[in-house]
Amino acid sequence: MKNKAGARRNYMWCIAAVILIGVAVCFACRCPFSRPPEVTKGAVAPLTDKNKLPVLAGDFRLIASGGKISSPMWSPDGQKIAYFIINEEDQDGLFLLGDLYVVHADGSGKVLLAECIMLNAVWTSDSRSIIYEEMERGLEIISIVDKKVKRLVQDGHAPSVSADGKWLAFHRLGEDGSFTDDIYIMSLQGNGQAKLITRLPTSHETEYMPASLRWSATSDRLIALSYDNNNIIDGKSDALSVNLWQIDLKEGTRLRLAGNNGDNDFLFTLSPNESSIVFIRDSRGERTHPEKDIWLMHGNGSAAGKLTSWGNVLYCDWVGNDTLICQRVDRCYFSDGELHDLSQWGVWLLNRHTREAGKIIDACDYALSDKGDLAVVKRDSAATSSLLTARFK
């Protein structure tokens, strides 16, 4: 009996040992039963700080009001806001002219800087001047201290200042005033001679303005678009095939990151750590029946994937490396160019990992400072609006 009991105990110990070894092997090999579930596209990730939407620290504050306010821009130091009041636009809203104002972040010291200029403007890195585009005179720089104006280049368009504040990039207009995809840079600290960087391959018929150029954080690369035209401007469709380019200024090379997909892609923006690019894709490619959604891809242009299925996104930017801020509009706005329901304008946040989204405010435009301050434009009526600010925690 003793031998049988001992054999039974040995047998049980063997069983236990086999189970323990199996468990150990399972964890060591990370078998499916031991792995944490992987987050796939569209799935909800474990809740961490990077998966939470930012929240505002308080209520919005009125900064300015009156007229059709548009295109707010925070100064790099976060102390001032520049904005336009629109006074002229064509029937499609493509060519807007406005008066340029600057106001302190607390709403004081409102100043009119320039009148009847195009809505293409950018701050200099010292927050003391603004570069803007005047239809007849080209790119000019104006001091917000004494309002002195200096012409930079006669036929410049779509200005963009490098992160280090040393360089100005822009597109140059053709001899007949048409838009081109020729990209130039000029020093903001030297003699101001413009230098041709690249001529992007394009076949468009100069009906579309080149998109604003985007600098890398290191100021040695540019992100730019060029168009392949298969559109009918006066017909039913204006679909474009868009190419996204990275231009390396040190190496003197260019690399196509994306393009030739038959979709209308635009507003490409690098994440702060430059690991990802967010953009808007109009999968329908038509002005009257668009499907404008947010897409995301790696910084090298690979692995593009759709983030939203809203169909009504106008703009999109980064809030850190994990959250996106975007502008959504009333879908019927696209049908005839008229805004039918002001309440449908909205500024939203979207988490890139969880796809969680939330509306911040009913507003028709926004700007985000490097310090986490948010400025929005809220339409009070068809002809008047207000500029409001708040801060993220």
Structure confidence by residue, pLDDT tens digits, 245-266: 889 998 888 888 876 555 667 7
Cα distance between residue 121 and residue 80, in whole Å: 14
Residue type, 11: Y
In a domain, 379, yes or no: no
Q: Which residues fall within 8 angstroms of residue 110, CB to CB, at 6 or more apart?
A: 64, 101, 102, 103
What is the per-residue pLDDT across 52-85, written as a single tens digit (0 to 9) for each?
A: 888 888 899 999 998 889 999 999 999 999 999 9
pLDDT tens digits for 175-193? Answer: 666 667 788 999 997 667 7
Q: What is the mean pLDDT of residues 146-165?
A: 90
Task: List, for residues 87-137, the tens digit of each pLDDT value.
Answer: 876 555 555 789 999 999 999 999 999 998 888 899 999 999 999 988 778
Domain-located, residue 9 = yes
- Domain assignment present for residue 317? The answer is yes
Strand intervals (E) in 5-75: 61-65, 68-74
Whether residue 178 lies inside any domain: the answer is no
- What is the reported pLDDT for 333? 46
Report yes or no on 107 lying in a domain: no
Token pair for 383: 């002809």
The more confidently predicted of residues 238 and 372 is 372
Residues 6+ away with beta carbon under 8 Å from 315: 267, 280, 326, 327, 366
- The total number of structural domains in the chain stands at 2
What number is the average pLDDT over the span 352-377?
91
- Does the residue 128 lie in any domain? no
pLDDT of residue 270: 86
**Confidence band, pLDDT 50/70/90 cuts, at residue 194:** confident
pLDDT of residue 155: 82
Q: Which residues, 6+ apart, have CB-to-CB distance to 29 below 8 Å? A: none
Note whether residue 167 is domain-resident: no
Residue 268, domain member (yes or no): yes
What three-state secondary structure class fits 19?
helix
* Mean pLDDT, the chain, whole residue set: 76
- Which residues span the domain enclosing 344? 263-368
Query: What does the block give as tokens for 384?
Result: 């008047």
pTM above 0.85, yes or no: no
The pLDDT assigned to 217 comes to 86
CB 131 within 8 A of CB 168: yes
For the ranges 32-46, 268-282, 297-311, the lowest mean pLDDT is seen at 32-46
Kindly report the backbone phi and psi dihedral angles of residue 273, in degrees, each rounded to the nearest multiple of 5, phi listed first: -90, 5
